[in-house]
Amino acid sequence: MHRKPLQTKLAAHQTYDANETHMLQQIRQFIDTHPDCFERSLSVGHITGSAWIIDRDRNHVLLTHHRKLDAWFQLGGHSDGDANTLAVALREGQEESGLSNLKPVSGAIFDVDVHLIPARKNEPAHYHYDVRFLLEADRHAPLTISSESNQLAWVTLDETLNLSQDESIQRMVAKSRKLA
């Protein structure tokens, strides 16, 4: 029963391209197959919630340089049993940036992505079934870098394309350009 709200949001999500459509199908199948999909203890993978944080002018996005993965990404993290992925995205966005004024632009899903997390010492390789939400924040509010990041930066949409070649980041930039 706890999976139903996310399943409903995923059924309503309009994908951007064929690749995102394929990942949406993967996420829906994963949720249908695994009642414990929100638990980090599910070793094959788990649902994560991410925050694509834009400024009020829709020209800048907040990125984090992820300490473990050594690359620029949106903020986000594990559901840790919370089936409300929007609440997860808000929580992770606040924890990883120090921003207390994050606001959802919409309760609808902004983007979905499935990506492999490499094995580490005590953790096997596994998938993150990432559900992403569009959040808004004041670009001039003070930021606090968490232990998960090397750096936080507000960057223009054009600069984002130079910082990350990740296909899903490129896709979210393209989606963001349609908002301005």
Give me the CATH number covering residue 133: 3.90.79.10
Residue 171: pLDDT band with limits 50, 70, 90? very high
The CA R_g of the chain, rounded to the nearest whole Å, is: 15
Which residues share a beta bridge with 117?
126
Give the domain extent around 165: 4-177
pTM of the model: 0.96
Residue 1: pLDDT band with limits 50, 70, 90? low
Q: Tell me the C-alpha distance between 51 and 89, whole Å.
A: 5
- pLDDT at 147 (0 to 100): 86
Total domain count, the chain:
1
